[in-house]
């Protein structure tokens, strides 16, 4: 039986610098990604409660002051924009969680 040539084994067993760099970058990405994802997931109930609460209370308060109390210079549109804006701030938060959840 013929033994394989040592030079051919040596070339195939060693990764190229490009492959090594890619593995190194992917490892660093996972080192950064996983703690950040864990932090965002741990804070998710609090963030959702705060932003949703601000949105609901802001809309209710703006409707209350506009139609029931009838303040003459009440910033109704500004209150609605702030309330809807706080609700839409949840979208980038969940998008960031989704981005960090994908392994690659």
Please enumerate in sequence order all residues whose Cβ is within 8 A of that of 62, keeping only pairs 6 or more positions apart, or say none. Answer: 74, 76, 79, 80, 83
Residue 104: name the closest of 41, 26, 28, 31 by CA.
26
Domain boundaries, the chain: 16-101
Q: What is the pLDDT of residues 15-73, one digit of tens each?
A: 788 888 888 998 898 899 999 999 999 999 999 999 999 999 999 999 999 999 988 88
The label of the residue with tokens 């705060």 reads 50
CA–CA separation, 75 and 45 (whole Å):
30
Verdict on whether the full-model pTM lies above 0.75 = no
**Where is 73: in which H helix or E strand?**
none
């Amino acid at each position: 039986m013929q033994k394989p040539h040592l030079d051919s084994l040596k070339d195939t067993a060693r990764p190229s610098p490009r492959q090594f760099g890619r593995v190194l970058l992917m490892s660093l990405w996972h080192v950064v990604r996983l703690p950040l994802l864990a932090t965002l997931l741990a804070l998710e109930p609090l963030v959702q409660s705060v932003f949703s609460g601000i949105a609901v209370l802001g809309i209710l308060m703006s409707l209350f002051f506009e139609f029931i109390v009838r303040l003459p210079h009440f910033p109704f549109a500004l209150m609605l924009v702030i309330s809807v804006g706080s609700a839409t701030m949840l979208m980038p938060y969940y998008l960031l969680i989704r981005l960090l959840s994908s392994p690659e």
